[in-house]
Amino acid sequence: MIVTRKSLAATLALIALTSATGARAAQDACLTPSDLDAVFAYALPTVIDSAAQACRPVLAPDGYLASQGADMAARYRMGQAAAWPLAKAAVLKVGVGAFGGKGAGGLGKFASMLPDGALQGFASGFVSQFVIQAVHPGDCRDIEFALRMIAPLPPENAAGLITLVVERLEHHHAETGQTGHRLTLPLCPVHPVAPPPADH
């Protein structure tokens, strides 16, 4: 992926605008589990690289992430092109929502007119910061073990497992007010399933 100076500037602008309007994005547009699957399928190499970066100080230098993480990320990187169309739709959905929707004048149109290179840079950059902020040193051994377990899986299965974990963590943090100053994902609310009517 080649990112020009122009697309890089657009990416930084999109990140800044999205960070400033995160609460509004959560109200206007949200990510479904399918959206998250698509984003993580595209960003799997970023997830692996970011986890390795965050955990490097506390993991063994000859452990799985240190010795095999780069190869794992490279293998998943080969599937990024196939995963991008659905990931792009998810990024645009939240980006346009954060700027007030399609009728919000220049800002709403800005997100949908960015080149793919800028949108890919935004998706990877956001996921990287999200992972780095979400990882705690005490979790690193479990994360390393989990990544070793999902390594044989195809991207869509690995992404689905990551989506499941992230959804549970994000909803837990939202319910307990533990969001703090970290990046949060604009997840769609979970609607409880009504119990079946009792037989009389």
Neighbouring C-alpha atoms within 13 Å toward the C-beta of 146 = 14
CA distances from residue 80 to 43, 65, 149 in whole angstroms, order as listed: 8, 20, 21
Provide the pLDDT for residue 2. Answer: 40
Give the 3-state secondary structure percentages of the chain, helix then strand then coil, rounded to 5: 70, 0, 30
Under 8 Å between Cβ of 51 and 65 = yes
Provide the pLDDT for residue 14. Answer: 41
Provide the pLDDT for residue 165. Answer: 79
Token representation of residue 52: 């390795």
CA gap 42, 45 in Å, rounded:
8
Provide the pLDDT for residue 56. Answer: 92
User: Taking every pair of C-alpha atoms in the chain, what is the biggest distance, in angstroms?
Assistant: 69
Q: List the chain pLDDT tens, one digit each, 200 residues.
A: 444 444 444 434 444 434 444 444 444 578 888 888 898 899 999 999 999 999 999 999 999 999 999 999 999 999 899 999 999 988 888 765 444 444 444 445 666 777 888 888 888 888 888 888 888 888 899 889 989 999 999 888 998 888 887 777 766 556 666 555 455 677 777 655 455 666 65
CA gap 73, 75 in Å, rounded:
5
